[in-house]
C-alpha cells in the first residue's frame, strides 16, 4: 500500500519534503499549491452544505481574478485546486483557466458534475489537453438517495454523464469524492463498485463536517443529524470501511479508506463526546500542520488562509498575494509551537497530508499508526 495514495490529488514525496523543510527552517516564501474557491455559490443543493445560500455575485471580479493568477505565477505557485461552491458555474472560468495555462500553473478541480455534463466536446478537450485533474462529488450509488442528498432531481444521471464524458475526453486522474455521514455509511462499498464500473481509478472519502463550508456562513443546523454520534454508528462505520477495503482490493480501485478510518473514527468520537481538544494532536505524536507552510486557501471574497476552516487570515481582494502570504507568519509561528486554532478541531480535508508529514518527522513515536496505515 502506498501511503501517498492516501492523500490523492495533493501530495508527492518531493512536495512533502519541501513542505517539511519549510516547516523546519521556518522559511515559507511562497505557497506551492493553492486551493481556490473561485465562487461560493453552487447549482446543487446538498442537504449538508451552506454554499447554495451564497450569491453568485459575492465573488471577486474577473479583472482581479486574472491579476491574482499573475501574482500566483510571480510567487511560484505550481498548482491550483479549483473548489467552490461549484467552480464551473463561473461564466469567466475559461478566461481564468486560459490565464492559469499561460502562466504555467497546473489545475485540478472538484465539481458536482452538473456543468461538466453539458460542456462542449471542445471545452472538455481543452481541460484534457491542459492535463487538468478532476474529482467528481457523489455520495451515493443509488439514484434516489444521490438526488436527495445533492438536492437536485436528476443530478445522478448528470453525474454519470459527466463521468462518461470526462473519461472519453481523456481527462487524467479522474476520481470520485464522497462525503460520508450517518445516512450513507453503507454506500462506501457500492461507490467503489460504481467507480470500477465507470472506469474511475480512485475514490476519496471524507466525513461530513459540523463546520460551515465558509467561516462567514453559520453551519446548517441539520448537519448535526449526519454526524455519527454513538458507539453503534461508529462500529458500523468501521465495518463498512473494512468492507470497502475488501471491495477496493478485489476491483483494483484506489481509495484513501485507511486514512479515512484512522481519522474519521476519532473525529466522530470527539464530536460525539463534545470534546473541546484537538483530536489530531491526540492521535499523532508531534502532530504538525504543514498545510500552512506549503499551501493555502483563497475563498470567493479573497480571504487568504492556511485552509478553509480558519477564521483568521488575510484578504487579497485589494492587497497583493505576496503581502498577505507574509502576514500569515504569526499563525505559522504558533503552529510550529503546536499552538493550534480552535477551528482546527474540525480539521479533516487536509488531515492526510498533515499526518503523513508528522509521521515522516516522528516515525519512531508513531510506529503503530504507520503500521495501521500500511495495512500491516
How far apart are alpha carbons 55 and 9 in whole angstroms?
28
Question: Do the Cβ atoms of 86 and 118 come closer than 8 Å?
Answer: no
283-322 positions binding ligand SF4, by CB under 6 A: 289, 291-292, 306-307, 309-310
Task: Identify the residue whose cell numbers are 481519522.
Answer: 263
C-alpha cell at 65: 481574478
Residue choice 9, 32, 49, 59 for contact with ligand SF4 (CB under 6 A): 49
C-alpha cell at 13: 514525496
Q: Does 357 bind ligand SF4 (CB under 6 A)?
A: no
Judged by beta carbon, residue 136 or residue 248, the one nearer ligand SF4 is 136
Question: Do the Cβ atoms of 198 and 326 come closer than 8 Å?
Answer: no
Q: Does 42 bind ligand SF4 (CB under 6 A)?
A: yes
Q: Does 82 bind ligand SF4 (CB under 6 A)?
A: no
- Gap between the terminal Cα atoms of the chain: 10
- 320 strand-pairing partners: none
Q: Does 162 bind ligand SF4 (CB under 6 A)?
A: no
- Minimum Å distance from CB 279 to ligand SF4? 11
How far apart are alpha carbons 248 and 358 in whole angstroms?
27
Judged by beta carbon, residue 247 or residue 350, the one nearer ligand SF4 is 350
- 80 strand-pairing partners: 34, 107
How many residues touch ligand SF4 under the rule CB under 6 A: the total is 24
Q: Does 46 bind ligand SF4 (CB under 6 A)?
A: yes
CA neighbor of 202 nearest in space, from 109, 107, 135? 135
- Minimum Å distance from CB 348 to ligand SF4? 8
- Minimum Å distance from CB 17 to ligand SF4? 19
How far apart are alpha carbons 165 and 268 in whole angstroms?
36
Q: Does 344 bind ligand SF4 (CB under 6 A)?
A: yes
- Minimum Å distance from CB 311 to ligand SF4? 11
Pairing of the two strands 295-298 and 303-305: antiparallel
Angle at 369 between CA 367 and CA 371, to 5 degrees: 70
- Minimum Å distance from CB 110 to ligand SF4? 8
Residue choice 84, 87, 207, 352 for contact with ligand SF4 (CB under 6 A): 84
Query: Which residues form the interface with ligand SF4 (CB under 6 A)?
Result: 42, 44, 46, 49, 51-52, 84-86, 112, 137, 289, 291-292, 306-307, 309-310, 340-341, 344, 347, 350, 354
Amino acid at each position: 500500500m502506498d501511503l501517498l495514495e492516501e492523500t490523492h490529488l495533493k501530495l508527492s514525496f518531493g512536495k512533502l519534503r519541501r513542505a517539511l523543510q519549510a516547516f523546519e527552517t521556518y522559511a515559507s516564501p511562497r505557497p506551492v499549491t493553492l486551493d481556490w474557491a473561485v465562487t461560493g455559490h453552487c447549482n446543487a443543493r446538498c442537504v449538508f452544505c451552506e454554499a447554495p445560500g451564497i450569491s453568485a455575485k459575492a465573488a471577486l471580479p474577473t479583472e482581479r481574478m486574472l491579476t491574482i493568477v499573475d501574482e500566483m505565477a510571480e510567487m511560484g505557485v505550481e498548482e491550483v485546486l479549483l473548489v467552490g461552491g461549484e467552480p464551473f458555474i463561473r461564466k469567466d472560468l475559461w478566461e481564468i483557466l486560459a490565464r492559469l495555462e499561460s502562466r504555467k500553473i497546473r489545475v485540478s478541480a472538484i465539481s458536482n458534475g452538473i456543468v461538466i455534463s453539458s460542456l462542449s466536446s471542445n471545452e472538455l478537450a481543452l481541460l484534457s489537453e491542459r492535463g487538468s485533474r478532476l474529482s467528481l462529488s457523489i455520495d451515493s450509488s443509488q439514484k434516489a438517495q444521490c438526488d436527495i442528498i445533492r438536492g437536485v432531481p436528476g443530478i445522478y444521471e448528470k453525474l454519470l454523464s459527466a463521468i462518461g464524458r470526462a473519461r472519453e475526453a481523456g481527462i487524467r486522474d479522474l476520481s470520485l469524492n464522497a462525503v460520508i455521514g450517518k445516512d450513507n455509511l453503507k454506500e462506501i462499498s457500492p461507490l467503489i463498485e460504481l467507480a470500477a464500473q465507470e472506469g474511475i481509478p480512485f475514490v476519496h472519502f471524507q466525513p461530513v463536517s459540523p463546520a460551515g463550508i465558509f467561516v462567514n456562513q453559520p453551519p446548517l443546523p441539520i448537519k448535526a443529524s449526519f454526524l455519527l454520534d454513538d458507539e453503534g454508528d461508529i462500529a458500523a462505520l468501521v465495518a463498512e470501511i473494512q468492507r470497502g477495503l475488501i471491495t477496493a482490493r478485489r476491483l483494483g480501485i484506489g481509495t484513501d479508506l485507511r486514512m479515512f478510518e484512522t481519522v474519521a473514527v476519532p473525529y466522530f468520537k470527539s464530536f460525539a463526546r463534545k470534546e473541546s481538544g484537538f483530536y489530531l494532536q491526540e492521535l499523532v505524536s508531534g502532530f504538525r500542520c504543514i498545510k500552512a507552510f506549503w499551501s493555502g486557501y483563497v475563498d470567493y471574497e479573497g480571504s487568504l488562509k492556511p485552509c478553509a476552516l480558519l477564521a483568521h487570515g488575510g484578504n487579497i481582494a485589494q492587497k497583493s498575494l505576496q503581502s498577505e502570504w507574509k502576514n500569515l507568519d504569526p499563525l505559522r509561528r504558533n503552529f510550529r509551537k503546536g499552538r493550534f486554532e480552535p477551528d482546527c478541531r474540525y480539521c479533516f480535508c487536509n488531515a492526510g497530508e498533515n499526518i503523513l508529514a508528522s509521521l515522516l518527522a516522528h516515525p519512531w513515536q508513531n510506529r503503530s499508526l504507520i503500521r495501521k496505515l500500511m495495512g500491516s
